[in-house]
Structure 1
């Protein structure tokens, strides 16, 4: 279970400051806490707006954790590391 690969999707809208910040913050958090155990897919809704429907995206940027289940979502620029770790339920890995 601990070796499970986390599947994450970050929904953004172009290269806005919030989108760029969210991606940078997410990469930093993942490298620090999930290094080698995550896959990140970035979906630009300006290029593929139809993809928002599948994960019911209502605001951007939004991070969706697909695996491990259950699906979790975090909205915002992901600058609050504590909120991101709690939202993704990564804290349990950090305390091990």
Structure 2
């Protein structure tokens, strides 16, 4: 199936290395390794460095995760600590489950 080979493009918006930003990235990397092994790219955008990039994805709060590919585009706000909520939000089926 082509869908299985698709690379997930994830963009995480943060503002500096705050505790919430670091937690969000750590949680995201863990979920991706567990459920999307070798099928994902995470782009971290620090809005303290590149504030103009917030407008393109209409970022209103941070940290915010944006799933660009596969569509539909989805956004999740927060530190991503609730794994089930993140997986449902991104429409990821937990590894090993149908």
TM-score category, normalised to shorter length: over 0.9
RMSD: 1.2
- Kindly state the Cα deviation for residue 94 of structure 1 after the two structures are TM-superposed: 5.1
Which ranges of structure 1 fall in alignment gaps of 5 or more residues? Answer: none
TM-score (normalised: structure 2)? 0.94
Out of 65, 77, 80, the position equivalent to 1:63 is 65
In structure 2, distance between residues paired with 1:94 and 1:64: 24
TM-score (normalised: structure 1)? 0.96
In structure 1, the residue matched to 2:84 is 82
- The number of residue pairs the alignment matches comes to 96
Which ranges of structure 2 fall in alignment gaps of 5 or more residues? Answer: none
- Say whether residues 1:72 and 2:77 are aligned partners: no
